[in-house]
Structure 1
Amino acid sequence: MLNILWLIPALPFLGALILIITGSRISHRVAARIGAGSVGLSAVITLFTGYEFLSSGQAFYRFTAWNWFQVEGLSTAISFYLDSLSLVFIFVITFVGFLIHIYSTEFMETDEGFTRFFAYLNLFVCSMLILVLADNLVLLYLGWEGVGLCSYLLIGFWYSEEKNGYAARKAFIMTRVGDTAMAIGLFILFSVFHTLNIQDILLQAPQVWTVGASTAVLVGFLLLGGAVGKSAQLPLQTWLPDAMAGPSPVSALIHAATMVTAGVYLITRMHGIYELAPLAQLWVGIIGAVTLLLAGCSALTQYDLKRVLAYSTISQIGYMFLALGVGAWSAAVFHFMIHAFFKALLFLAAGAVIMALHHEHDMFRMGGLRNKMPVIYYTFLIGAASLAALPFITAGFYSKDQILWLAWAGEKGNLWFFLAALTGAFITAVYTFRMVFITFFGEAKTHISHRPAKRMTVPLMILAVLSLTGGFIELPHTLGHVTIFSDILSPLLPAAPLREGVESTEWTLQLIAMALSLGGVYVAYIFYIKQPKLADELKSATLGVHQFWLRGWDIDALYDIVFVRPFVYLSRWNKHDVIDKFYTLIVRITEYFNSTFVRTQNGILRWYIMSIVAGAILIITISLFIQP
């Protein structure tokens, strides 16, 4: 099965190609079968390939399709590299992506752009698979830009509304900022190692650079710039909340299984560089810690159900960056996988709620759905419990517990990282159950117009099961010490070493984390169920802070002042500069000759004859004068 590894990205690409060529000439049923079926086949091949790979005991498997290009010493192939890290990612991408495709066949059923939607969705999955399977940074960059293009197409899918087009452009432009930094980093890597093959770079790096070498630190920061843009971390996080303009399945795919996790993958894949650049790695952790707190506070104040989940995604990716910053590579990847399960579940369930309520997004216009939509309620509740890391029963508890523990006990961890992660856990529990209580409890404020069928509810049930049970493949020492996941990754990713004398504190820290998680749920219950007037009073007393957090800490406004307005002003001032006048002159001259020649083509035969005669006379006259 390993020799058909290439089919995993090829099948979604083939599906996209067929859908693009056939367009609206095929029925929705056929388009759905092509779109969902191609990703489903990729998921099946991934399962068989993964089983064979793990059974074989191989460290990696490489498949080279053909040599892409060779220029001045840079030889780049279309070559796929399978190891334990890429296996985890392709499993999540194909499996969760397939469930999102199945859900979309009902969610988008009446949309005029049904076939176009699945073509974009398949191309998105293909691009992400290329990104994580690439054995060289050029091919990885192709997939990297592919998901950027597809995010633009999908966020602005309903492009007839101006705000949707704006959101798509914003996502595309802001991620280009990070991508530029990443591209510069690739140029530096090639200048040093004369190759962009990932494994060759990781093998040579310790021999070329010492720990803390300036070039290694520079490359680490440049790659971090790319990761920050794609994974929506501070300071390039503002595009993600606006990305909610796209259909809900798009939000689930971007936020759970594909685009925003690309930065986590890049840093993890290039972990050897960061081990040689401790300053850059420290800043990975700092950015993650600050982002998870800022985004969590913003999530506390949102009204739009999907924007709460968007800020939640930013915050949870912050946890992954924090883990990467302290060298907890396996813990970051484990949280990525579990996050994909519960966040896809939450977005899809939120989409079902929004669809049922006449496309209403405001949580405060919902309510009373607990008994009217029980399947949606219970699956959403399971996803929320996992996001809030409720102890023992949810997968999110076990994945987040590892990060909290290593933020404190790891050699690269410290008290500030631990306090940030702990505070974020409390905030997460509050805003998560604020969302649950406002949406599903209380009095109904909007009539239900549509009830989701099995194509929407079955994927929710599957994701709900994974959100509960997925964490049991990796348990801490205090709760059974199961290490299936870390054992799979251990040949590739080094374990984070612990500081001396901290083992005895693990139970204490876990109890604190449990108490804060449950305390956050209780606080949300008091404010939004028991005494809802307290929430209104608190909002009135802190209206300035509330509005500040609601606007995302005014980072968009800051960018508008610092970058957008000066650029627009200079563009208007420079509109008629000398260079523009030169090109305008060329255009005017071209237009003049065009209009002159157009008048000669008047359709009157005698004019044509006279022109030929005049031309012949002119040529004969010139030839007579030229001859000696």
Structure 2
Amino acid sequence: MNHLLWLVPASPLMGATILGLCGTMLPARAAAIIGTASVGIAAFIAILIGLHWYAAAPPSHILIQHLWTWLTLPGLTVDISLYLDPVALLMMLVITIIGTLIHLFSTAYMAGEAGYSRYFAYLNLFVAAMLLLILASDLLVLFVGWEGVGVCSYLLVGFWFQDAANGYAARKSFIVTRIADIAMLAGILLLAVKLGTLSIQPMLARATELWPHGGAWPTLAAGLLLIGGLGKSAQFPFQTWLPDAMAGPTPVSALIHAATMVTAGVYLVVRLHVLYLLAPDVLLAISIGAGITILLAALAALVQSDIKRVLAYSTISQIGYMFLALGVGAWSAGMFHFLTHAVFKALLFLSAGAIAMRLDHEQDIFKMGGLRTSLPLAFWSFLIGAASLAAVPIISAGSFSKEMILGAVWFAPGIGPGLWAAGLLGALITATYSFRVVFLVFFGPAHTPVTGRSGAPIAVPLVLLAAGSLLIGWLETPSFLGGDRLVMTLLHPVLGSPAPRSALAILVEAAGYIVPLLGIAIAYTLYRNGHWQRVAAAEPGALRRLLRTGFGFDALYEALLVRPFMALVRALRHDPVDHVVTLISAATLQLHHTLRRSQIGQIRRYAAWLMAGSIATIALLVFA
């Protein structure tokens, strides 16, 4: 089955091509079938490859499929080749399977919308670009997929472009991530110049051979690449674009947050972890930035009124946990949290979409309430997802992965305990805001009537993702629950074995089990009937307003970057540089007209000018 690897990215790309070229001529049902089936085929092939891999892994646990040579330059060759190892295999399975469920959900959620075929074309292209990103064997090809994901996010966030606010959100997400991508491109060029190749594995081997541990070149290269990863994953200080990206359709939000765009930065660091091991200062910066991101985003989520913005800030915070793991070298723990987060975050967004569909697309949690009995499937789905986000012990997938991260962070040398405290505080706030939404949306009095019904395209993804959110954590369990190591076993050939779990580590993780329960108790006390929260929301104080705006980073960037740049644009609107060129041209023409007057055809006057010039020249030579 391994020879079919190229079909995994090719299938959704083919679907996007068909829908892009023929979408206006296709009925909505055909567009939905093509869009969903193309990703479903990719998922089916990915599962077959995964099963074949489990039965008989290729030599060195690496599969390379060369397709063609793209560029041949002096000293540099770029091949279009697919590189599959355990990390890429895990990513491929998550992207295709969850992508298929989101496409299926979209067939009902987007029914009746203008641009139905265009939507599925964008969605297919998004999945194809992400698959190219994770399967690329060359950094330049990876960058093509990286930029493809960015373009598709712009198209999907601004899908309802008739609303100016949606267009603004799309431009914001595109520009912020492009700014970060400039640094990433600089890092790629640096690696090409210094190491002579962009093929990832030979490049990493040369970096290990030529660059010393902690040297300037690996630190600079890793830092530049990290900036691109932070931008794509909406980490501090690039986190401002993601909450506004909720302007897109809810299934788009699920795809961006769960399986594709925002996890690209995590994948980049894991894929190049050999380079990052040569740059310990960059790893330290990753862990500190992750701790800041976790707390900033969690506090902002605590006061949001839009259900999708709550989930957006939770994504920023949860990606922060992944980066926290990477910063301390717990690569497998970060990838395990990627897996669990992909499942429960897709479940939360699709549950939010199912709620909005039945409430005439209302997303304000203060206008909901009492939906526990009227929307039982959405209630149980969201409750399971919220439990996993809050890391409720034992019963939720998020508990297993988050506690694994916190346990690894505690033993990190230097500031490990401080980072662990930040992660633990973030877990407390996460549990509080997760169940704040549960109590406000599903309990108390109803505020908006429920209409319509949900069919199989809505129910099937919710049920499957809910089951995954309950069960997938058991792939990797602590010793007192069996000590299964299925994820670690898969990733071991690439990422190595994690440090052995001591008795103290188990106690440290056990401390983390108490915090989510405390957060739920706080949420129950404050929000179980919604009264306290609704009164506070009616007259928000200065602190609440600050948190609601994400600590004012948008205003800060507006003052420091946007306004000065726009002032410069206005100053250059009439092209003052052209004025200099015009002045030179005018002066030349004037000189031409002046000299032309001397050409009158009188020999005596020419002789006089010649004599005057000769006298002036002799005078300069004599008296100079």
Match for 2:575 among 574, 577, 582?
577
**Contact 1:411/1:497, CA 8 A, preserved across alignment:** no
C-alpha deviation, 1:224, in angstroms: 0.7
Contact 1:329/1:495 (<8 A) preserved: no
Q: What letter matches 2:203 in structure 1?
A: I
- Counterpart of 1:545? 543
Task: Quote how far apart the aligned CAs of 1:448 are.
Answer: 1.3
Aligned equivalent of 1:157, options 137, 146, 159: 159
Deviations 1:104-161 (A, max 9, x none): 0000111111100000000000000000000000110000000000000000000000
1:106-121 paired onto structure 2 within 5 Å = 106-121=108-123
Q: Deviations over 1:563-618 (max 9, x none)?
A: 01111112212222333458999xxxxxxxxxxxxxxxxxxxxxxxxxxxxxxxxx
Q: Measure, in 2, the Cα distance between the counterparts of 1:445 and 1:584.
A: 67
Give the corresponding residue for 1:519.
518
For 1:583 and 1:162, the matched residues in 2 are separated by 38
Counterpart residue number, 1:450: 452
The Cα of 1:529 is off from its aligned counterpart by 1.2
The residue type equivalent to 1:307 in the other structure is: R
Alpha-carbon shift at residue 64 of structure 1 (Å): 0.8
Bigger drift between 25-34 and 474-483 goes to 474-483
1:364 corresponding residue in structure 2? 366
The answer to whether the 8 A contact 1:369-1:444 is kept is yes
- For the aligned residue pairs, the C-alpha RMSD in angstroms reads 1.7
Amino acid at match of 2:259: A
Q: Deviations over 1:143-201 (max 9, x none)?
A: 00000000000000000000000000000000001100000000110111100000011
Identify which range, 379-388 or 570-579, moves more after superposition: 570-579
How does the TM-score come out when normalised to structure 1? Answer: 0.90
The whole-number CA distance in structure 2 between the counterparts of 1:561 and 1:298 is 21
Aligned counterpart, 2:594:
none
Using the TM superposition, give the Cα deviation of residue 24 of structure 1 relative to its aligned residue in structure 2, in angstroms. 1.5
Deviation at 1:410, TM superposition (A): 3.9
Unaligned runs of 5+ in 2: 584-624
The amino acid across from 2:573 in the alignment is K
Equivalent residue for 1:404, pick from 406, 417, 426:
406
Higher mean alpha-carbon deviation, 467-476 vs 410-419, is at 410-419
Letter in 2 for 1:529: R
Residue type of the partner of 1:574?
A: L
Q: Is the 8 A contact 1:47 1:91 kept in 2?
A: yes
Given residue 283 of structure 1, which amino acid in structure 2 is its aligned partner? A
**SS at 1:475's partner residue?**
coil
AA at the equivalent of 1:343: K
State the Cα distance separating 1:491 from its structure 2 match: 0.7
Are 1:56 and 2:56 matched, yes or no?
yes
Residue 3 of structure 1: aligned partner: 3
**Residue pair 1:328, 1:495 contacting (<8 A) in 2 also:** no
Q: 1:563 maps to which residue?
A: 561
In the alignment, what sits opposite 2:26? 26
Secondary structure of 1:144's match?
helix
Contact kept, 8 Å, 2:233 with 2:265, in 1: the verdict is: yes
Amino acid of the structure 2 residue aligned with 1:220: A
Secondary structure of 1:341's counterpart equals helix
Per-residue CA shift, 1:291-344, capped at 9, x if unaligned?
Answer: 010000000000000000000000000000000000000000000011000000
* Matched position secondary structure for 1:234: coil
Distance in 1 of aligned mates of 2:450 and 2:289: 42
Contact 1:220/1:281 (<8 A) preserved: no
* Distance in 1 (alpha carbons) for counterparts of 2:546 and 2:243: 15
Relative to 1, partners in 2 of residues 1:64 and 1:256: Cα closer, same or farther, differing over 3 Å?
same
Q: 1:475 to 1:565 in 2, by over 3 A?
A: same
How big is the shift at 1:449? Answer: 2.2
> Which range moves more in the overlay, 373-382 or 565-574?
565-574
3-state SS of 2:239 partner: coil
Structure-2 residue corresponding to 1:42: 42
1:300–1:430 CA contact under 8 A, matched in 2: yes
Q: Hey, what's the Cα distance between the residues in 2 that align with 1:534 and 1:570? A: 47
> Offset at 1:356?
1.0
**1:331–1:399 CA contact under 8 A, matched in 2:** yes
Contact kept, 8 Å, 1:391 with 1:514, in 2: the verdict is yes
2:531 matched to 1:529? no
**Residue equivalent to 2:193:** 191
Separation in structure 1 between the aligned mates of residue 280 and residue 319 of structure 2, nearest angstrom? 20
Contact 1:68 1:77 in 2 (8 A): yes
Q: Which amino acid aligns with 2:554?
A: D
Q: Show the counterpart of 2:222.
A: 220
Q: Secondary structure at the match of 1:371?
A: helix
C-alpha contact (below 8 Å) 1:291/1:314 kept by paired residues: yes
1:49 is displaced (CA, Å) by 0.8
1:354 & 1:191 partners in 2: Cα distance? 51
1:464: how far off? 0.3
Does the aligned pair in 1 maintain the 2:411–2:417 contact within 8 Å? no
Shift of the 206–24 alpha-carbon distance from structure 1 to 2, 3 Å rule, reads: same
**2:270 & 2:582 partners in 1: Cα distance?**
51
What is the aligned partner in structure 1 of residue 600 from structure 2? Answer: none
Over the matched positions of the two proteins, sequence identity in percent amounts to: 48
Q: Which residue of 2 aligns with 1:619?
A: none
What is the DSSP-based 3-state SS (H/G/I as helix, E as strand, rest coil) of the residue aligned with 2:78?
strand
- Cα distance change of structure 1 residues 346 and 519 upon mapping to structure 2, 3 Å threshold: same
Q: Is residue 368–residue 443 contact of structure 1 (8 Å, CA) maintained in 2?
A: yes
Gaps of 5+ in 1: 586-628
5 Å-filtered alignment, 1:455-466, equals 455-466=457-468
Match in the other structure for 2:15: 15
Residues in 2 aligned to 1:201 and 1:71: alpha-carbon distance in whole angstroms: 17
Q: Does the Cα contact within 8 Å between 2:366 and 2:534 map onto a contact in 1? A: no
Q: 1:509: Cα distance to partner?
A: 2.0
Q: CA deviation at 1:479?
A: 2.6
Q: How does 1:377-526 map to 2 (within 5 A)?
A: 377-411=379-413, 414-497=416-499, 503-526=502-525
Shift in alpha-carbon separation, 1:395–1:583, aligned structure 2, 3 A? farther
Alpha carbons 1:410, 1:496 under 8 Å: kept? no
1:109-258 equivalence runs, <5 A: 109-258=111-260
- Partner residue of 1:263 out of 262, 265, 272: 265
Q: Does structure 2 conserve the Cα–Cα contact (< 8 Å) formed by 1:154 and 1:250?
A: yes
Distance in 1 separating the partners of 2:54 and 2:85: 9
Provide the C-alpha distance between the structure 2 equivalents of 1:173 and 1:35, rounded to a whole number of angstroms: 28
CA offset at residue 402 of structure 1? 0.4
Give the 3-state SS of the residue equivalent to 2:371 in structure 1.
coil
Q: How far apart, CA to CA, are the structure 2 residues paired with 1:57 and 1:229?
A: 35
Q: Does 1:288 align with 2:290?
A: yes
Higher mean alpha-carbon deviation, 208-217 vs 47-56, is at: 47-56
* Displacement after TM superposition at 1:495 (Å): 3.2
Question: For 1:414 and 1:539, how far apart are their aligned partners in 2?
Answer: 37
Q: Which amino acid aligns with 2:566?
A: V
The alignment covers a number of residue pairs equal to 581
Amino acid at match of 1:285: S
**Which SS does the other structure have where 1:481 is aligned?**
coil
Residue type at the aligned position of 1:506: A
Q: State the one-letter code of the partner of 1:54.
A: Y
- Offset at residue 76 of structure 1 (A): 0.8
258-267 or 472-481: bigger deviation: 472-481
Q: Which amino acid letter does the alignment assign opposite residue 236 of structure 1?
A: F
Q: How does 1:95-106 map to 2 (within 5 A)?
A: 95-106=97-108
Rate the CA distance shift 1:410–1:578 in 2: closer, same or farther, 3 A.
closer
1:29 maps to amino acid = R
SS where residue 79 of structure 1 aligns? Answer: strand
Q: CA deviation at 1:411?
A: 4.5
- Residue 417 and residue 540 in structure 1: after superposition, are their counterparts in 2 closer, same or farther (change >3 A)? farther
Q: How does 1:329-348 map to 2 (within 5 A)?
A: 329-348=331-350
1:601 matched residue in structure 2: none
> What CA deviation, in whole Å up to 9, does each residue of 1:367-408 have, x standing for no partner?
111000101100111011011010011111001110010010
Separation of aligned partners in 1, 2:375 and 2:563 = 47
